[in-house]
Structure 1
């Protein structure tokens, strides 16, 4: 039996090979190590508004993300493109009119499909809730979104769709049969159709709320967001490893990712180098070690890092991910 130790280098290599874009640095790449949480796209992507939930195309040249109302009670999807060495001014994504609550974009590894959630009306469904929708890339355009058929969408809410390398769909839902109010589920892709969703079980789900799953390219490292877990209060990001067909007990993610604010929307960049997530942490206290004048203070509270919500990135290697499978276990 081979070792079940999963160094972060393995995740990096698998992601790079899967993306096919390892030779050319992606637009989100930075010079030198990125060992501390760093605001992504400050001033353009992350601003004084509430931004979150970044999703990149495989070449990294487009980023889809949310622009949220200050109270996080309304949201829609924006897009920015890398042009002439800069991120373009974000605009509404072509499939998001701003009329509905569209959120949680996920672009598949081949760049041909984009999954998201929406409360837009579904023909034949009596009430509106958050369901999973998808759109296909045809040339430079996305097709008209379609409601995901099959057993994935329920009478409850569905959140944060993530597609694994084998086609399995991971998502959060408050559908009946869970361990708590909201759990992490997965639906395997069988002959082109999604099977009945499976609950990921007690190691991942609790009586609290687990929402937003992201499965790393290695297929064995699961990141997710949880509320009120282990008495931690605000939402944090946790990690669990698949060992011998079962998930290890989830633990809070290290590396400075979690903060006194809310952490959510975990993702690994298509080139496998960076961990992205969203946070409501504030840098205001760090700035307060010297006096402000009026303009400097107003610029700080109206800019990225004001605590409303921003997109962050860090080197994946800085998280020091180590499998809990043991030296002789199988994956």
Structure 2
């Protein structure tokens, strides 16, 4: 029964579960040193197991708290609590529950209606929009080989009830594979659905993928890449949009035992090297389903089967834990030489990022428009661009064979990784530095220059360059729930625009509309479609 409980918790095939337990991962010496350091360096974090109102002797996981103090989670337990049914796997099920967090604690959990918790399935692994009017969740069944296969479903809340769920398309639910553990991220002009799958063309067993939802449909899923996904398993994604940070669990990377919680800054398939969350978030057992309190970033939840849980067996089942970073009393700030050096260092770091270059698809945003502004955020243009990588490889290598074809595809791959994705990572770092400067009372002026490839007439390209600058302005205005708006409105943050059109484009770039390989898909043309943050002044 312990094996069954754990397998159900993951909702993947037993073969994947067993491969994760065999310890085939070879740990290098430097990795082992890092792991030992992580074990010793206990963080100032208080961990508490949630009360018996939430945790039972069975498994509870996937904790999400909403702004109105409604708490959703999933529980694996027998359909009834008779001694007979506890003994047999076929009487166990997973359901999604909700509770209210009040000053006196959690209210008695109530399962979502049978519209969602259909007894034919294991219903689990959910995500919702902020208003809880849309729910994505997993439904799992055993196949003919008795392995669990999961698919993603959606339901809308209308007229005070959940509508009949609809299974997502085959684009998301690839036949013959498991698709589970969704997490929804909402942007101004598109949504991103992160999820876990063992579909083909992945990197390991279970990988984290994402799909862009726009204009009523999901785009083709894209793997988060080798920075996040390993030859092992990566699961339970949670994305903090305010900090542009992904939290997930992995049985590889620098795990101190079992599955550990990691974090990485970035988005889509552009990520910094994942960092282990450390002790006490992680233990020698399995730790996952990390989430953050919506009203207090110092608090949050995760699930673990570490010792001293509520189960009838030490490590068979999972409980939900709450964490809180301990806030030490701050001493009165004293300006010292170190403080001055730190300030100088930060300004130098900002200037070292310049020129900060960000790239765009051909004629984006808003193709064929003559406007100089756009409602689109650079984030959504980036997601569209990254989704086109395979098309760029195909078109740029068209007509080539063998080594020449492979080299052309590799050139495109390197451009997307080294230029497109790296540019976004630099933008997130720049945004953090900029916010720190403004919070310290500085007045900052930045200059953004826009460029275009030479495919169109000069005036059209100037307007296109202006739209590209506008998308970055939208990114800044919407960053971290609009944290820069106060500074923009008070003129503490000033953004100057310099749309150049194609006047700066290399004469070596083709302007022949009939030659799309060179005028659209080539590296030379791609390098011209950009904006640059070129100047930074702080006083």
TM-score by length of 1: 0.71
Q: Of Structure 1 and Structure 2, which has the larger fraction of its residues in strand?
A: 1
> Equivalent residue of 1:164, what SS?
strand
Shift of 1:161: 0.5
Return the index of the structure with the highest Cα Rg: 2
**Alignment partner, residue 10 of structure 1:** none
CA RMSD of the aligned region, Å? 3.2
Shift of 1:261: 1.4
Q: Which runs of 4+ in 1 moved over 6 A?
A: none
Shift of 1:230: 4.0
**Alignment partner, residue 317 of structure 2:** 308
Confirm or deny: 8 A CA contact 1:67 1:77 kept in the other structure.
no
- Where in structure 1 are there 5+ consecutive unaligned residues? 1-33, 122-126, 285-299, 319-325
User: How many pairs does the alignment contain?
Assistant: 269
Shift of 1:184: 0.7
Q: Of Structure 1 and Structure 2, which has the larger fraction of its residues in helix?
A: 2
* Structure 2 CA distance for aligned equivalents of residues 226 and 190 of structure 1: 30
> Equivalent residue of 1:208, what SS?
coil
How has the CA–CA distance of structure 1 residues 136 and 317 changed in structure 2, closer, same or farther, with 3 Å as cutoff?
farther
**Alignment partner, residue 236 of structure 1:** 260
Q: 1:276 aligns with which of 287, 294, 301?
A: 301
Confirm or deny: 8 A CA contact 2:257 2:283 kept in the other structure.
no
Q: In the TM superposition, what are the counterparts of 1:71-86 in structure 2 within 5 Å?
A: 74-82=93-101, 85-86=104-105
Q: Which has the higher contact order (CA 8 A, sep 6+)?
A: 1
* Structure 2 CA distance for aligned equivalents of residues 53 and 226 of structure 1: 16
1:36 equivalent to 2:46? Answer: yes
**Alignment partner, residue 156 of structure 2:** 136
Confirm or deny: 8 A CA contact 1:67 1:75 kept in the other structure.
yes
Confirm or deny: 8 A CA contact 1:107 1:115 kept in the other structure.
yes
TM-score by length of 2: 0.45
* Structure 2 CA distance for aligned equivalents of residues 174 and 301 of structure 1: 29
Confirm or deny: 8 A CA contact 2:237 2:246 kept in the other structure.
yes
> Equivalent residue of 1:47, what SS?
coil
Confirm or deny: 8 A CA contact 1:209 1:229 kept in the other structure.
no
1:153 equivalent to 2:178? Answer: no
* Structure 1 CA distance for aligned equivalents of residues 241 and 138 of structure 2: 22
CA deviations 1:241-269 (Å, max 9, x no partner) are: 11897201212113521111111112112
* Structure 2 CA distance for aligned equivalents of residues 128 and 246 of structure 1: 31
Q: In the TM superposition, what are the counterparts of 1:210-249 in structure 2 within 5 Å?
A: 210-218=234-242, 220-230=244-254, 232-242=256-266, 246-249=270-273
Shift of 1:191: 1.6
CA deviations 1:281-304 (Å, max 9, x no partner) are: 1237xxxxxxxxxxxxxxx7659x
Q: In the TM superposition, what are the counterparts of 1:186-205 in structure 2 within 5 Å?
A: 186-205=210-229
Confirm or deny: 8 A CA contact 1:215 1:222 kept in the other structure.
yes
